[in-house]
Structure 1
Amino acid sequence: MAQGTVIDGGAVDELQTSFRGELVRPDDAGYDEHRKVWNGSIDRRPALIARCTGVADIRAAVRLARSQDLLVAVRGGGHSFPGLSVCDDGMLIDLGLMKGIRVDPEGRTARGQAGVLLGELDRETQEFGLAVPSGIVTHTGLAGLTLGGGIGWVMGKYGLTIDQLQSVDVVTANGELVRASEDQNADLFWGVRGGGGNFGIVTEFEFKLNPVGPYVMAGPVFWPMEDAPEVLRFYRDWIADCPDELMTIAVQRRAPALPIVPPDLVGKLVVAVVACYAGPVEDGERVVRPLKEFGSPVLDLCRPKPFLEHQRMFDPSFPRGWSYYIRSCDVASLDDDVIDIVVERGRRITSPVTSVALWQMGGAVGRIDDGATAFSGRQAGFTFNINGNSKTADGFDAERQWARDYWSALAPHHTSVYVNFLMEEGEERVRQAYGAGKYDRLKALKRKYDPTNFFTLNQNIKPG
């Protein structure tokens, strides 16, 4: 769709007669609020926002977009780092009103619609001491996280989010509703487990549930940044033979201004290891004791707590409306050369909201056959999430450059990359995220389900 193109008002009026949700145009009240996404550096203005309440609304919106040859963005939680869940001109198909969740505690399954956020699903499943492996920020959308793979606090024990996915309902590019599982449309089911939103709009997810909590041994332990060389070498050796129940993230940042952080520590450069033990608390206390006793921590917040509380821990560090930029890569190991780079680059953090998260991979994630899903990178040792952030546009350019420089310094050690941590980096980076063999298979799948590339605003796999 050419910039500035106006959608046929008559077609929109006709859609309105049967649309149960809300159609929002640029002159309507609430338009500016509804077009916003989590990343405040993204400022785009769709020509029409279709706030869908169910499958019928989604199919109708897809048909209108096709008839008008519109660019389409699809939004679940709106947490896309590069802002792919909103567009200039075109149509935004907003699934945020679709919040249905159904938990079967006896069958240990859960169904969630495409507008559900991670915290909303956790609240329902934790009522029964169960959980779906998911991410670490509760206002992330379930849909986007799942379709890219889903890494989080209990993946060492239970694998990725997609590893517990049993079926999906999908509206395809031609407006058809199909179900995909191991037994139905198995090729599509393979593709949506890591292939993102390339093949259609997933309207509902069905997951297997796993016992977690309701209490876990979890939380961060902080040391001064000058202790980072020793802390990171200890950390590497400590987790080398850790049980699957233990998942950790090493963090570099300036200590945040939160009530739990002593005032004299706020703003100082720190390195932290955040742990979560997905098993009995008493076992977790034993396993994390060496971490808590290493060196001279300046703050220890690792303790028994509700799993729901731990899941919310990072929320204050990633609120809606700040400016976010990310660079990411996987590395095979945390060897001395990688640690030296991490230490040197971490000392250059200036923004109070910039951070690096180094995710421990392995465990159950790596034991699943790599060819079973479209997700790639199961054999990665660690995943880097390098965030160059600012609260406003002021200073954002400098933070982006810091993130790029950190990522470039790690270039000799790059292996794969997690597709959910990509910005708009081009086709070759998308190919790298999947590897050549899977990328070719995904292209063939795209030709089958979306031959015109109707769903293009994603980490796009072109059909041609």
Structure 2
Amino acid sequence: MQLASVLYYLASCALAQAGSALNSRGNELNGILTSAQWSSGTTLSFPGSESFTSSTERWTIFEAPTYAAAIKPATEADVVQAVNLATANGIPFLATGGRHGYTTTLGAIQNGLAIDLSHFGTVLVDKAAGTLTIGAGVRFRDIYDPVFDAGFEIQTGTASCPGMIGLTLGAGVGPWNGVHGLLIDALVSLRVVTANGTIVEASKDRNPDLFWALRGAGANFGIVTYATYKLQRQVNQGQIFSGDFVIPAEQNGPYFRLLEAYDGGRLSDKLSISTFMSYNLSTGVPQITANWAYLGPVEEGYEALAPVLNLKPIIGGLRVYPWNTFIRTVAGGADAYLCLDGQLRDIYTVNARNISASTYQIVFRKMSAFFDKYPTARASTIRIAMLPNQATLAVPDDETAYPWRDTLAYIDIILSWDGTNCAAAVKAGAESLGRAVRDDLAATSGYPTLAVYVNSAHGDESLESIYGASKLQRLSALKKDWDPTNVFAFNNALPIRYP
């Protein structure tokens, strides 16, 4: 009893000290922010208010940052002032558009300042120039209709809710890599608030080294307030033929061997294949679901989908979608579920340039055993996004900082569980599975070591796995030039020297 009392007392003291630190930082930030002069549209908020929750709620709450205050700036000048005040007072901060960044390194921000860029909602299509200019608060769903109605397309990512600029800075992969390439390849220019509080433009003609670094490692170099992209004319008048399928668990072998058949450059530039290992709560068994999407005429689409149709899967739907509705409505509107905020999601990722049926079968068995052992984690899933890379590879590797242009499959291990029922044990099991499956997939990925897409990085990977050894020396030199004091230190931070 005495030991228990001592432990309770120590825990209570620790909690009290943590609360005191939070209150101290909150009072400090309150005084700093409220004493400054801001534009009329800029708002400040603090914990306990609805506006604070609106400015800080995240897509995933796993290993999340915490904040003592939030600012929603209305102007670039206010972004600059927020950065200057934070750096001058040693306050960690994070600027966000959609708040979908989920690397665990963001959790190092405790009692920091949230800079909510949602006021930067500009969406401007210049039909004559064939360009799109957006603000940092724009999400993908905001650009679908304006771009489509003007007769254009652009790479879109795989969900409607992430901030478009944030996703772009990591590379911006999506189902149309084969035709439209990466989002970084469409970039014309960026406006950036740098670590020293200045606003610069980055493009091929202005600050070209910074422009190179921003395209693949952008979170390390500043806050992008506006971006301009080159649009592309619609393919097939913007019509996409799509099939949704359910593959029973016992058919996993033939299906994974079919995926392997597309290895070695055999995936059409117009065909993307997204495969999910999940648990069907209605039937009570693990399953495989898939979406096959073809950016072309229906006749060609049926030919492209013939191999999966020959497996006689359960067909959830075969139909044509216009480009501007595809992401939001495909797979029965699964995007709405995928975009739910405030969920516990622990994510590991692997890039692969080879497809291995035997590895996928092993992973499926491990995932099935995990579902059996941890029923509260049955919302977890593994997504294998096979994205054609013809247009991506057409851009020289040294054109941008992104190192993995030859990736064919982007694989995300998305682990989610009920945080109230034996949560510690489930978390331990999930983390063990995540690392084991990541190792399995990396071993047959075709890369000599683990390679990961920076936007999906868990946060425990090496710098080489995230940024590529061939890019790191130049990146670190540019980090030293543009952010020598490591102001932007929380999103898989680069060093200022390498090796």
TM-score greater than 0.5 by the shorter chain: yes
Matches within 5 A, 1:37-436: 37-42=58-63, 44-82=65-103, 87-210=109-232, 211-212=234-235, 214-238=238-262, 241-255=266-280, 266-292=283-309, 294-312=310-328, 313=330, 314-318=334-338, 319-350=340-371, 351-361=377-387, 362-390=389-417, 392=419, 394=421, 395=423, 397=427, 398-414=429-445, 415=447, 416-425=451-460, 429-436=462-469
TM score, norm. by length of structure 2: 0.84
Following the alignment from structure 1 to structure 2, what is the Cα–Cα distance between the partners of residues 267 and 40?
27
Give, in whole Å, the separation in 2 of the partners of 1:100 and 1:424: 32
Q: Measure, in 1, the Cα distance between the counterparts of 2:97 and 2:258.
A: 40
Equivalent-residue separation in structure 1 for 2:483 and 2:454 (angstroms): 20
Instruction: Report the more deviating stretch, 431-440 or 145-154.
Output: 431-440
Q: By percentage of residues, which structure has more helix?
A: 2
Per-residue CA distance 1:49-79 (angstroms, 9 max, x = gap): 1112231221111111122121111111100
Cα distance in 2 for partners of 1:358, 1:326 equals 13
How far is 1:451 from its partner?
Answer: 0.5
Aligned length: 452
Q: How big is the shift at 1:243?
A: 2.3
- 1:7·1:47 contact (CA, 8 Å) conserved in 2? no
- Paired amino acid for 1:290: P
- d(CA) in 2 for partners of 1:132 and 1:433? 25
CA distance in 2, matches of 1:116, 1:219: 29
**What is the identity, as a one-letter code, of the residue corresponding to 2:56?**
R
Aligned counterparts of 1:285 and 1:437: Cα–Cα separation in 2: 41
Q: Distance in 2 between matches of 1:85 and 1:67?
A: 21
Is 1:442 aligned with 2:479? no
TM-score, normalised relative to structure 1: 0.90
Map of 1:260 onto structure 2: none
In structure 1, runs of 5+ residues without a counterpart are 257-262
Q: Which moved more, 1:38-47 or 1:180-189?
A: 38-47
Distance 1:26 1:16 in 2: 21
Q: From the superposition, tell whether residues 76 and 58 of structure 1 become closer, same or farther in structure 2 (CA, over 3 Å).
A: same
Residue matched to 2:17:
none
Letter in 1 for 2:438: W
Which has more radius of gyration?
A: 2
Match of 2:496 in 1: 463
* Unpaired stretches in structure 2, ≥5 consecutive residues: 1-20, 372-376
Deviations 1:187-224 (Å, cap 9, x if unpaired)? 01100100031100000111111225532102422210
Pairing 1:25–2:60 present: no
- Return the letter of the residue paired with 2:297: P
Supply the AA of the counterpart residue of 2:170.
G
Q: Alignment partner of 1:460: what SS?
A: coil
2:272–2:294 contact (8 Å) kept in structure 1: yes
Q: Is the 8 A contact 1:332 1:413 kept in 2?
A: no
